[in-house]
């Protein structure tokens, strides 16, 4: 017959042992570490094919024909007289196939420079959309991605108003706030976002800022990169290589 004192002593020892081994297993597998997702866009590499937009729409069930999208590509044409003509028709869902920004044909001879800029949610460290949500339906995950709870969003649109990047819209079917979340379901399964996988030119890259060996994070650390609309104090986590001051 085991005494009460002995029972407690063995019980404590057993639970401490189990706890310690669970912690060790977790630490060894690396699963306990929370990543800090960052995105890198190299505007030099983007050709405006729109494959990323199509992949995103398919992956995230945004109806193809709807004039709203979680990610898009902008085209900037800077003319020799300094005039900037920019557009993103249908978010570049069908790619840019004609030299007609805003429907105007610009002769090649008039163009000083032209380029494409992919846009997606900046997963801000200080997200204004999260700040203004009256019910807490939009929130920040521990790895920095801003998510929306479709079952709790009331559809007031305050987050849409608060985003300086115009990322958000109302999902045409669910009638709740919708935005890019770096394909969080894919990230959680160890995959990359759909747009990253779809880009044939490597213009879109995702990395983990907490990983010292992450090649994308290393580019951000060592190259000259910038973020969009820094003046709003949102601290974006999408970085741009080869930025230009005409980008909006």
Partner 1 sequence: MVHGEAWTIKEFFTYPNEYIYWSIQIVMYPLMTGLVAGAFVLSSLYHVFERKELKKMAKFSLTFSYALLLSAPLPLLFHLLHPLRGLNVFFTPHFTSAIAAFGVVFFSYAAIVASEIWFVNRRLFVESALRLRGAEGIGNKVKGFVYRMCSLGAYDLSDEAIRKDERAVRFLAGLGIPVACFLHGYAGFIFGSVKANALWMTPLMPVIFIMSAIVSGIALCMLTYIIVVELRRFRLNRGRKPWMSSPEARGTEMNAIKMTSKYLVFFMLFAVSLELLDLVFRGYTAVKHWDILRTVIYERDFFSIFVLQYGLGNLLPLVIFLLPGLTLKRAVAGLILVLLGVFMMRWNVVIGGQSFSLTLSGYMHYNIPVIPRDFETYKEGVFGALTIAASPFVFLWILNKLIPVIEE
Among 128, 144, 193, 236, binds partner 1 (CB under 8 A): 128
Among 8, 18, 135, 191, binds partner 1 (CB under 8 A): 135
201-226 burial, b at 16+ Cβ within 10 Å, e below that, comes to eebbbbbbbeeeebebbebbeeeebe
Question: What is the C-alpha separation between 248 and 244, in angstroms, rounded?
Answer: 9
* CB nearer to partner 1: pick between 131 and 188: 131
Nearest distance from C-beta of residue 108 to partner 1, angstroms = 21
x-marked contacts with partner 1 along 21-60 as a string, rule CB under 8 A: ----------------------------------------
> If you write DSSP's letter for every residue of 35-103 in order, what string do you get?
P-EEEEEETTT-----HHHHHHHHHTT--TTSS--SSEEEEEEEETTS-EEEE-GGGGTT---SS-GGG
* CB nearer to partner 1: pick between 63 and 200: 63
Nearest distance from C-beta of residue 123 to partner 1, angstroms = 16
Q: List binders of partner 1 among 150-179 (CB under 8 A).
A: 152-158, 160-170, 172, 175-176
Among 15, 34, 131, 218, binds partner 1 (CB under 8 A): 131
166-178 burial, b at 16+ Cβ within 10 Å, e below that, comes to ebbbebeeeebbb
Question: What is the C-alpha separation between 122 and 120, in angstroms, rounded?
Answer: 6
* CB nearer to partner 1: pick between 10 and 154: 154
**Which residues, including other chains, have CB under 8 Å from residue 138's CB and lie 6 or more apart?**
129, 130, 146, 147, 148, 149, 153, 159, 177
Q: Does 103 bind partner 1 (CB under 8 A)?
A: no
Among 211, 232, 242, 244, binds partner 1 (CB under 8 A): 232
Distance between first and last Cα of the chain: 78
Q: Does 136 bind partner 1 (CB under 8 A)?
A: yes
Q: Are the CB atoms for 184 and 141 separated by under 8 Å? A: yes
Among 45, 47, 59, 68, binds partner 1 (CB under 8 A): 68
Q: What are phi and psi of 130, to 5 degrees?
A: -70, -40
Q: Are the CB atoms for 187 and 37 separated by under 8 Å? A: yes
Nearest distance from C-beta of residue 174 to partner 1, angstroms = 9
Among 36, 42, 54, 69, binds partner 1 (CB under 8 A): 69
Among the residue ranges 42-50, 126-134, 185-193, 202-210, the one whose residues contact partner 1 (CB under 8 A): 126-134
Interface size with partner 1, residues (CB under 8 A): 47
Residues contributing to the site for partner 1 (CB under 8 A): 66-69, 72, 84-88, 90-91, 102, 119, 128, 130-137, 152-158, 160-170, 172, 175-176, 232-233, 248
């Amino acid at each position: 017959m085991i005494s009460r004192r002995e029972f407690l002593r063995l019980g404590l020892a057993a639970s401490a042992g189990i706890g310690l081994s669970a912690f060790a297993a977790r630490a060894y597998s690396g699963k306990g570490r929370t990543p800090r997702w960052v995105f890198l866009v190299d505007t030099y590499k983007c050709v405006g094919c729109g494959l990323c937009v199509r992949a995103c729409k398919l992956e995230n069930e945004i109806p193809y024909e709807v004039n709203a999208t979680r990610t898009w590509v902008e085209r900037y044409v800077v003319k020799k007289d300094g005039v900037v003509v920019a557009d993103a028709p249908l978010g570049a869902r069908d790619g840019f196939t004609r030299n007609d920004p805003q429907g105007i044909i610009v002769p090649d001879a008039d163009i000083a420079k032209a380029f494409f800029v992919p846009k997606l949610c900046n997963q801000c460290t200080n997200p204004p959309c999260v700040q203004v949500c009256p019910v807490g339906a939009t929130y920040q995950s521990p790895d920095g991605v801003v998510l929306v709870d479709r079952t709790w969003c009331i559809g007031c649109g305050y987050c849409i108003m608060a985003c300086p990047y115009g990322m958000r819209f109302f999902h045409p079917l669910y009638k709740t706030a919708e935005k890019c979340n770096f394909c969080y379901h894919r990230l959680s399964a160890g995959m990359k976002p759909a747009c990253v996988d779809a880009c044939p030119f490597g213009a879109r890259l995702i990395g983990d800022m907490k990983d010292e060996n992450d090649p994308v994070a290393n580019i951000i650390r060592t190259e000259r990169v910038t973020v969009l609309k820094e003046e709003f104090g949102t601290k974006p986590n999408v970085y741009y290589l080869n930025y230009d001051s005409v980008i909006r």
